[in-house]
Structure 1
Amino acid sequence: MTPVAGVDGCPGGWIAVRWAGEDVSHHLCRSFLEVMALDAAVIAVDMPIGIPERSGRAVEREVRALLGQRQSSVFSVPSRAAVACAEYREACRANQANSDPPRKVAKQSFHLFPKMREIDALMTPELQSRVFEVHPELAFWAMNGASALALPKKVKGRPHEPGLALRRGLLERAGFPLAALSGPKHRAADVGADDLLDACACAWSAGRLAQGKAFRFPAAPPLDAKGLRMEINA
């Protein structure tokens, strides 16, 4: 199997799961440059690639409609002017000036801005042949026969074991060798159990991308000002 990697942002940086057949391991990377240095033909990351000039992207609206009760896991990507801001109130003002109707920035998405800026600084249209945007809940939707999951993976900010167990089962039935996952143990403060599971789901999507089997939303993605496709794959 062609080596691929699935990546999720985490408090310690980026948690990457590299998958090549029965060889599967996880790596805590402090920067996205470290992620890109991994031996992986395809990298699938749960982080926006392609930032709109006006707040919101068509792909979020399309994907939310598929995810039922899990749709809140897909946040609207703010405007490029807002993402460039390092201070929350400044970001809210910038986004209000670049959205219709005017809207502020959600605190949850604001905390992702540093990672969004990190990827955006590196990405080029050419790199999108190797680095793709994905979303774990969309991957689980695909594993579940194109059906939304009934159980959340977190409740009140804490891991929800029934939801995590559901997702582990889907990964295993979809052929991902979860039991073979090896690698160093990370501090819970750096990598949460849900972060690692999401990275596994991203790796599964990376495998589908490598095989040309992935869903792409939307089918004809628009481009941002840098020429980057604004899409989510699963």
Structure 2
Amino acid sequence: MRTDGAPRRRFAGLDGCRGGWILAQWDGAGQLHLARLPSVAGLFEGPDAPDIAAIDMPIGLPDRVGPRGRAPERLVRPLLGLRQSSVFSVPARAAVMAGLGDGPEPQRYRAACAAARATSDPPRAVAKQCFHLFPKIGEVDALLRRRPDLSGRLLECHPEVAFWAMNGQQPLDLPKKVKNRPFPPGLDLRRRLLGAWGVPLDLLDEQNARALGAGLDDLIDACACVVTAKRVACGKALCFPDPAERDAFGLPIAIVA
């Protein structure tokens, strides 16, 4: 609690992992809590629900997309230098819904690619990495459509864009992974940036990552998201695009950092 008697604001950052989400909860000062969540909805069901949560998952699915995906992807990629390949092109809503249909994965992937080609200019299929995110994209989309009261409290972010903002709006020169394996110098760089922004670092180690069934990079990314949540609450966040676009259901199409 704050010494002036007012409750400290609560922030959350979420990064997807196998079978759920890594959650970073932070009071903006000295207390950081890391946990594993089976669903995003559970975060908002109790009395300790965050004031602002930032999630590394696309929110807002347009009816059509242009070259290189939605407007947020097109705007943030040039900022990231060598890290821009971490930003996937998200297809139109019809492609995501087709990929979440019934049937075996190859059939659903073909259906998603067909729908993506029909709703993109120029026609473009779905990258496999993005396709594997569809269940989590669908989970967040369904939650926000069911809970319009969460609009403005659960926002899309991207860890590398968050680190760009933390790094004085400069791209990071070291990757988190090399050949799909953790790259310690890149992870250490991101830990230092988090520490410089006040995030406690004592939980960001391999032991805690193993205990949560995740990689250390997942924990670090969740913390990047929670810093973004605090930046939003403090009025310091950047929005790409600004103002945000909206999809047919009124959900914002924007990345905040």
Name the TM-score, length of structure 2 as normaliser: 0.86
Equivalent pair of 1:26/1:181 in contact (CA under 8 Å): no
- Aligned match for 2:34, one of 26, 30, 38: 26
Gap runs ≥5 in structure 2: 1-7, 101-107
Instruction: Verify the 8 A CA contact 1:12 1:28 in the aligned structure 2.
Output: no
2:105 alignment partner in structure 1: none
Partner residue in 2 for 1:92: 113
Structure 1 segments (4+ residues) deviating >3 Å: 184-190
In the alignment, the residues of structure 1 paired with residue 113 and residue 213 of structure 2 have an alpha-carbon distance, to the nearest angstrom, of 28
Q: Mark the structure with the bigger radius of gyration.
A: 2
CA pair 204-152 structure 1, distance change in 2 beyond 3 A: same
Contact 1:46 1:136 in 2 (8 A): yes
TM-score by length of 1: 0.94
Please give the per-residue CA displacement for 1:130-184, whole angstroms capped at 9, x wherever unaligned.
11111110110011110001111011111111110110011111221223669x9
The equivalent residue for 2:15 is 8
Equivalent residue for 1:109, pick from 110, 130, 133? 130
1:205 maps to what in 2?
228
1:54 maps to what in 2?
64
Equivalent residue, structure 2, for 1:77:
90
Distance 2:25 2:87 in 1: 24
2:95 & 2:210 partners in 1: Cα distance? 32
Quote the Cα distance in structure 1 between the aligned partners of 2:191 and 2:36: 20
Distance across 1 between alignment mates of 2:122 and 2:233: 39
Equivalent position of 1:151 in the other structure: 174
Q: In structure 2, do the counterparts of structure 1 residues 188 and 111 end up closer, same or farther at CA, with 3 Å as the change threshold?
A: farther
Residue 233 of structure 1 aligns to which amino acid in structure 2?
V
Q: Over aligned residue pairs, what C-alpha RMSD do you find?
A: 1.8
Secondary structure in structure 1 of the residue aligned to 2:80 = helix
| Aligned pair partner of 2:245 in 196, 202, 222 | 222
**Pick from 28, 44, 52: which aligns with 1:42?**
52
In percent, how many aligned pairs have the same letter?
55
1:66, 1:36 → 2: CA distance? 32
Describe the superposition over 1:61-81 as per-residue Cα deviations: whole angstroms up to 9, x where unpaired: 011111111111111111111
**Separation (CA, whole Å) in 2 of partners of 1:96 and 1:18:** 39
Deviations 1:36-83 (A, max 9, x none): 335311111000110111132111101111111111111111111110
Read off the aligned partner of 1:52 and give its amino acid letter.
P
SS in 2 for 1:17: strand
Deviation at 1:188?
Answer: 7.0
For 2:134 and 2:234, how far apart are their aligned partners in 1?
A: 31
Give distance in 1, aligned partners of 2:211 and 2:133.
Answer: 19
Contact 1:96 1:103 in 2 (8 A): yes
What amino acid maps onto 1:114 in structure 2? P
* Inter-CA distance 186–167: structure 2 relative to 1 (3 Å threshold): closer
